[in-house]
Structure 1
Amino acid sequence: MAESNGMTDVQLIQQLALLGWLKTDSEHCKELYTAVTGMQVAREVLDRLSGQSQIDAYRRECIQSVADFVKKNPRASQRELNAEVEKNVLLFASRVQAL
């Protein structure tokens, strides 16, 4: 979902539909606003129930930890790199499983 000045595409569509509804009292704009808002609510509920946002955060942390290790240890051996990746992947897996 693209963002421009902090607003996602869905939020922009929602605001355009609301603006159209407020300016014209159009039934079409009201229906569009209702549909977009309903989709956002449904997506948020699903995300909270599934824990997907937390899984995504854990994934980013895992990748960042490996990247930080590589930056701090540019001369690490393949064995050291493998051990660090394995450690972080196991941590990721255990955190996801604990959800």
Structure 2
Amino acid sequence: MSSFLDLETLNAIAMLRWSQTGDSAMAEKLIAAKLFGKLWENLTSDPELETLRLQVIIRIAKFIKENPKASKEKLAEEIGKHIAEFAEKVEAL
């Protein structure tokens, strides 16, 4: 299913604006967004990274299930701990 404002349509709008006004800001932002999207896709398609991500989600879900009355502060602390562990493991890859 295609949306009216997909990346190709936005690209055409940016190029039209650039050709009419000489203002390349919109085109530059679109290119940066495309590059970021491709980088993100490459990073998240790593099976080892995906495994680490799922492990973090499972640990957080398990904590929430086992501690349904935990305070917001305790939840934030626990989630922060798991995210920090995830970040350390990702950097080690």
Give TM-score, length-normalised by structure 1: 0.48
For the pair 1:86 / 2:86, whether they are aligned, the reply is no
- 1:29-40 aligned at under 5 Å gives the runs none
CA distance in 1, matches of 2:60, 2:82: 7
Normalized per residue, the structure richer in strand is 1
Match of 1:97 in 2: 91
- Structure with larger Rg: 1
Tell me the matched-pair count: 51
RMSD: 2.0
Give TM-score, length-normalised by structure 2: 0.51
For the pair 1:59 / 2:60, whether they are aligned, the reply is no
Aligned-pair identity (%): 34
CA distance in 2, matches of 1:55, 1:85: 18
Match of 1:52, as an amino acid?
D
46, 62, 65: which one aligns with 1:68: 62
CA distance in 2, matches of 1:65, 1:56: 14
1:52 is displaced (CA, Å) by 1.0
Runs of 4+ in structure 1 over 6 Å off: none
1:53 is displaced (CA, Å) by 0.6
Give 5+ residue unaligned stretches, structure 2.
1-41
